[in-house]
Every structure is written in structure tokens, then in C-alpha cells.
A and B are shown apart, each in its own frame.
Chain A
Amino acid sequence: MSQPGSASRAAQYATNPPRELPKRSGTELALLAFAAFIVTSAFVLVQANQEQELSWAVVWYGLAYLAIFAVAHLAVRRWAPYADPLILPCVALLNGLGLVMIYRIDLAEAERAISLSQEVSSEAPRQVLFTVVALALFLGVLAVVKDHRTLTRYAYTFGLVGIVALALPALLPRSLSEVNGAKVWLKLPGFSIQPGEFAKILLMIFFASFLVAKRDLFMAAGKRVLGVELPRARDLGPILIAAVACLGILVFEKDLGTALLFFGIVLVMLYVATERIIWVVVGLTMFLGGALIAYQLFTHVQQRVANWIDPLATYNEPGGGYQIAQGLFGLGTGGMFGTGLGSGRPDTVPEANTDFITAAIGEELGFVGLSAVLMLYLLLAMRGMRGALAVRDTFGKLLGGGLSFAIIMQVFVIVGGVTKLIPMTGITTPFLSYGGSSLLANYILVALLLRISDAARRPQASAKPRQPVQQAPLAEAHTVMVQRPPQQQTGGPGDQAAGGGRYP
């Protein structure tokens, strides 16, 4: 470049310079290695604090973790080379921290079981197994779904399967669907799954596709009342159906958390699709009404609210605030920096490795650790959102936005419940909680996010090479002409540097 100054100025004016974007998979690998380092250190800390001597289990878990994510990384390189390099490391770190906490709670429960001379059951090895299966599924999704837009072809199938999966536990007899009072399971011989976790993603695909197809309908204005355009009554159909479905989950499956999650996601997707805030207003009104009715009708909803208002007051009641109070005690005991991994007593809280795993993290890693985990979720969702913003098709935008929001919504519902911000509704914490269904479903979610983010940054090979719009001042026109040649080499491997790091 003989005239670097004018060349860069030319690039500044070229809105769509033909070039190859950097894949930055090196960044991803480095970040994954960093995540592996953190997770292995966490394991070592747990071991050191719990058993005073390091056992070979550390090596086993550490290597398993590295191997699993090395494979995932290679798959992303192969099938989604332009995907955001931060998404997978965030997930890997969350998943790894979850494994460490589950392993740590295993140790505590084993100790207690031994002192009570009961059977010891370890859940960490099973969670590792779930992670392996989940990553296999993740690879499968990346390999099969080459372009997220193909999903729209099966939208109605997905929608149907999703509804059936969601309704199935409610329809099946209790013996096949109920665990701990929540009728959300599908008990199969040998293992159980929570179909709702998968239904979440299937229904989001359906909803995104449906909204994109019928977008114009929803954008049509209805009557104006007090200067606000109301949607037409007949367009209220989908949101009413969603509301009824959520109420159904609430009534038949006693699953407040999932109902809340679904409704939030539907609202946000509707809002994104129509760009009209009125849908959010309508939805929130319906939510408030539904919540009031549910509170009047169901004692378990009343109990949850009472536990939320003062868990210490209902501490001794059956189904009372014991669990939340213990979680809060744990968080309070942890304080700013926590007790240190392996030095606290997170096993005091019932369900410490599933619903209350964030209480365990807050206890042992303190506010600092809990904030770090929350920031990881935010980073993950924001990178997903970035993909959604950058992708070119509306379906991708809507699905990416919905999936990203779903992560934060779920985190908000469960962490908010654990920290007494909102009433506790038992749902899993993405990637952290023990449980196969949740992990599997969330890895599919991440695979889709990666697919969308890959599409957003991938050079459009099929698109006709466009002439850069000549916007440079006349005086500099000839320098632009000199810089043209790279456009003929679109997709060539050797000219990454010419891109200058910009992407749409």
C-alpha cells in the first residue's frame, strides 16, 4: 500500500467492501483453553478444600472437559467458521462451573450419606455424560442445519411437536409424569426427560416463522383509542392461544416457572416482530390478570407468594420458606467473596445442585462469583443478540433475538426466585443445573445461536458482487480505483488483511 492514508479513507466510505471477514476461531480456542483453566482450577480448589489431598478424579474431570470442548470447537470450525467466538467459551465456562458445583455438592452429600450410613449417589459423572450427549446433539444440529432458514420449512411440524411435547406430561398419568409434585416429566424406561425444555425451542422456531410469515397482519392498525393504535381483535388470536397454553401448564403441570418463561418469550417475539409496544402492554395486562386469577384459585401460588414476601415467616410451614430461607442464609454467609470453593455448606439448601445452584455459587464464590456468572449469561445473550442484529433475514433476527432473550429470561426467573427478587418458580438454570433435558435443550439453543451468528458474518457467496458505491470525494477517486482489484478475489484465503476488521 503505497498510500495507506487515502486507502483507509476510501475504505471508510465503502459501505460494503468485498472482503473475507476474519474467522477468529483462534480467539475461540484461546478462550476455551482459558475456560478449561478456570474450571480445572475450580476443581483443584474443591478437592483441596474438601479432601485435603488431590485425587485422580481432578485429572479425569479436567481431561474429559477439555476433550469435550476441543471436539465442539473443531465442529464449530468446520460447520460454523464465522460464528461468534465468544458464545462457545461462555457456555463452556458456565457448563464447567456447573459441573464443579455439582461435583462439590456430591462430595458434601456423600459425606452426609456416609455419616448416616446411607447409599451414596454421585451426580457429577452423570452430568458429564449429559454434557457429552448434549454436545453430540449440538454437533448434530450444526451439521444438519446448514442454514437456519431451512427451519422455516418445518415450522408447523415443529409447532405441533412442541405443543404435544408440552402437553404430554399433563395428559399422561401421574405415575409417568410426576416428580416432586411437578407434572413436567416423561418417564421412560431407564431415564426421564422434561419435554418442556425441548418444546421451548421448537415453539420458538414455530413462532418466529409464523410471525415472519404473518407479520403484516399484526402490523395492521386497529382502532385508535386515546392516541394509541390498538391491535385488531382477531389478531389477538396467537397471544391468546399462548396465554391459554401457559395457563394450561400452570393448572395441569403446576409449573409456574415454565409458564412465566413461555409467556415472556412469546411477548418479546411478538414485540420484535411487530415493533409495536402495544403488544407488550396487552400481554402484561393479560399476565397481571392471569396472575391475579391464579393467586385466587391456587393455594400453591398463594404459598409461593407468601414464601416470597417473607420466607423466614413461613419457614416452618410445610411447603414454606425453608428452602428459600436456607438459600438466602447461604448467600448471606457467602457475602462479598464467598466462603471459598469447597469451604461452604451449600448442601444445606435442598435442591442445591438444580434450582438452587446459584445459591451454592453465591455462597462459595460470593457476590463476586455470582455477579461473574450473571455477566457470563449477559455476555452470552448479548453476543447472540448481536448475531440477530447482524443477520440479514427477518426469521434469523426474530429467532436469534428470541433465543437470546430466552436465556436471560430463564436466568432472571430462577436467579430472581433464589435471591427473593420475584416469587420462586422452579426452573433450571441454563448450563449450570444438574439435569439432562435442560442441558440438551440449551445446547441446541446455543447451536442455533451459533448458526445464526455464523450466517450473519459469513460472506454472501451467492449474492452478486456489488459495485462499491462511489461515495468518495472526487479528488480521491483515483485512489479508490487503484484499490479495486481485491474484489475479484472474493472468498480467496490470502487477503484477509484487506478487510480491515469491519463487517456488516
Chain B
Amino acid sequence: MCDHHDRLKSNNKDLQSVEKQLDRRHFLKKTSLGIGALALGSLLNTEKAWSSIGNSDNAAVNAFTRNKLGLPHHLPKAKRIIYLFQSGGPSQLDLFDYKPKLVDMYGKDLPKSIMKGQRLTGMSGSQSTLPVAPSIFNFKQYGESRAWVSELMPYTAEIVDDLCFMKGMQTDQINHTPAITFFQTGHQLPGRPSMGSWLSYGLGSDNENLPTFITLVSKNGKGQPLKASLWGNGFLPTEHQGVQFRSGKDPVLYLNNPDNYDGTDRKKMLEYLGDLNSIQHDAYGDPEIQARMSQYEMAFRMQTSIPEVTDTSDEPEHIFDLYGKDSRDPGTYAANCLMARKLLEKGVKFVQLYHQGWDQHIGCPNGVKFKAKQTDQATAALIKDLKQRGMLDDTLVIWGGEFGRTVYSQGQLTKTNYGRDHHPKAFTMWMAGAGVKPGFTYGETDDFSYNVTKDPVHVHDFHATLLHLFGIDHERLTFKHQGRRYRLTDVHGHVVKDLLT
């Protein structure tokens, strides 16, 4: 449907003949489909073709209110989304998935009947025993929903009645890079569009002065590295890639005018540049040139919009108190949570936070405790803040990592210390806000939090559900690339209706 190659035509007569020789694909297409078909194709531009889907008398209306891809397919519940990605794989056993029976199993080898011959990572696969390590933390039930939360998340415990826990999450990947890539793009190998890019491509922008999809990474993050392909546009047009804000005082560099330049003729300069680029585009028809032009224009508008949105000085004292003292320190997770809310208020559709370091192979108790402390208060504050402002009504918030952790200890088990390896077969995530059931727990695991015993949610199902909340049928948002149509869920995925209000 958006096959850019079809529209690559030069307006410059001199170049057209050259172009025809250059483009083998076009040559084959023309000869195989016939000149007639081609002529017809160029007569219909895509916009007209799409608008004719609806009632024909609406055709004129379509030009600017109607989505060119025929979206949304149904009435959306969510208008924007914050994805709080806890990179590394938080231990569900020490946070949300309470397993009291493990205490009796302390130090015993994990039963073969539970492992079912699962292949482990190279890190613990060669261990002679796999001793069961119950969590050393206390769990309690909270709220009207009586959800179990460990003592490490006291602030999250206060908001459980707004959360929808998915305890039966499952992924296909056991190592970080493929697992994160799988979560963000629906495929283990880099190169597919990330979910934020799909939403940007499908639904477009709500504020033309800001990017549709923004990524914030907590500063001083140690642990598994993150890379731009996680918020990349893959084969979608380049303007849909996530824009990463730097963690720190200046989220976007070079927005300020250099010394001795007042910026008065910048607009003019960009217009000339635009003209030059148009000539280039006429000659080569490369869609990347158009993407470049729109990015220059976006950058120009961001010169004013970004300082405004990243300035937290107008936030009242009690908001900083709510998010915790870190929120005054730009680039921390807490400050990013606050920034995320401000971005959403300005019409950014997708804000993705990454917080690294949830990878507790050794020293799990202390590690999880430290990570929980860094994130718990701000996470809960964000939910409370959004709820108060009424934004939780149409904002989807997601908390989770790329996989869970094992019940057995990697390395030595002591009364106070253990390590936990990667575990893809069962882990916990939660969602909150637009269209998901508040105060609800979905899915169950066995006594070892090792296998899902009821209501599993696979990553593909999660993606399908996410798109559903935005009014999109995941099977119908596709992009044709290299001869076939791709979707975020590829050939998988079911909407988990039980999670929806």
C-alpha cells in the first residue's frame, strides 16, 4: 500500500530516460504487468485510492481528517502510552509473584518435572545443582484487589488497585539483546520497526512540533547495553523512528543558536535548503530525502517546543515530592517519569523509558532492592499524577522487562544471598490506564514461578492487545517490504480480551 518505489518519478524530463534505465525493478514490472496497468497505477495516487474505500461522497473530507491507512479500525481506548521498560529482566519472584511454598524447598534441587527439559543459558546450564532460592523479602496483600507485592515496592503497593498484573508473561528469547529486540519489534533480530514506530506510522502525530515517539534512557545506566534499533523504524519511513532524548540537562543538543547568531534568517535558510532538497528529490526520488526535509523542519520547530516541554521549573513543589528527590536531578528515572508526563501532555503519543540494570545473576537481593528503590516511587507517582489529571483515562502505562528470572540460584545459595538467571517461560508485567482492567490480576504460575499454569500472555499477544487498545486490528496494520507484508505481530498474536474493560 505504501510502496514508495511506485511513486518514484522524476519531474525532470532529462532524467526520466536515465531513470528508466537505472531501475531494473521498474523495468521488470512494466514488462510483466503491461504498460496499461502501469498507466492506471500512476493515475491513481494512493490518497485517492484510500479515500474511495469509504462512502464516495466523503472523498473530499478524507483529504486531511481521514487516516490514509484506514485506521483506526475501531474506537480506540488509548490515545498515548508510556512504556516503563525495566531492562535486564526484573525478578518476578522478589517483586510480585509470591510463592510461599518455596520456603520448604530451600536449597533443594529444582525438580526435573518442573523444568521439563528446558534448555538453560550457558551461565547456569553447567551447574551441578539448581538449588531453589525462595525470596528473602516479605510479601503482603494490598488494596481492594488484594494484590501481592513485596516489601521492595512500597509505593507501587499503594496503587495496585489501578494496575492490571499479567503474571503469565512468556517470551521466546532467553538472552538480553534478542529478548529486548523481540519485545520492541516483534522479532528477535534487529531490523523490524519498533512498536512506537508502528503506532507513529499508523496513527500519525498529535503535535507537529514534537516527535511522535520519544525514548528516554535513565542516565548512568549500567548493565546490558541498549541500542537505537530498539526504537528504530526498520523498513518504515524514517520519520517514524523514536527520537532519543539525552539524559541530562539538555535533552536535545544544538537547539540553542550559536554565539553571535540571532537566528532571524534561519527560516529563510531552511526554505532554500528545502528547495535544493526538492530538486534532489525530483532527480532521484529517494524517500529518504523527504524524510530528511521533514526532519529539518521538525528540528526547527523543536527549537522552541523542546525548551518549553523539558523545562520542569514550573512544576510545583508537591509534584517533585510525589516523584521523589531524584526527580530534581535531570536524567534519572524519576526525572524521566516527570518529563514523560509533560511530553504526553503536549501531545507526544509514545514515550518509552528505559531503566537498565535489572540483571541480577549474582547478589540478587541487594540488586533488586537497589533497582526497586530507584524506580518504585517515581513509577507509582506517575500513575497517581496521571490519574489525578484524568490522563489515565486515555493513557496506557506499561511496566516490565524482557523476561523474568529463575527460581533456582545461579551460583552459591546462602540464607541471605542468591543469584538468579534469565527465565523466559514465566514472568510478571503490569499495565494501567486506558482500557485495561484496574485492580486485576491475570494469569498464574506454578509453585516455582517456572511455568505458566493459567492464562499465559505471549509477547505477540501483548503486542496485539496493545494495538487493539489504540483501535488497531493487529492483523490489518501492515507494511509491504521486500515482497511481503509485515506486521508487528508477524503471523502470530491474539488480543487478550480478558484484560480489557
- Tell me, yes or no, whether A binds B: no
Interface residues, chain A, with chain B CB atoms under 8 Å away = none
Interface residues, chain B, with chain A CB atoms under 8 Å away = none
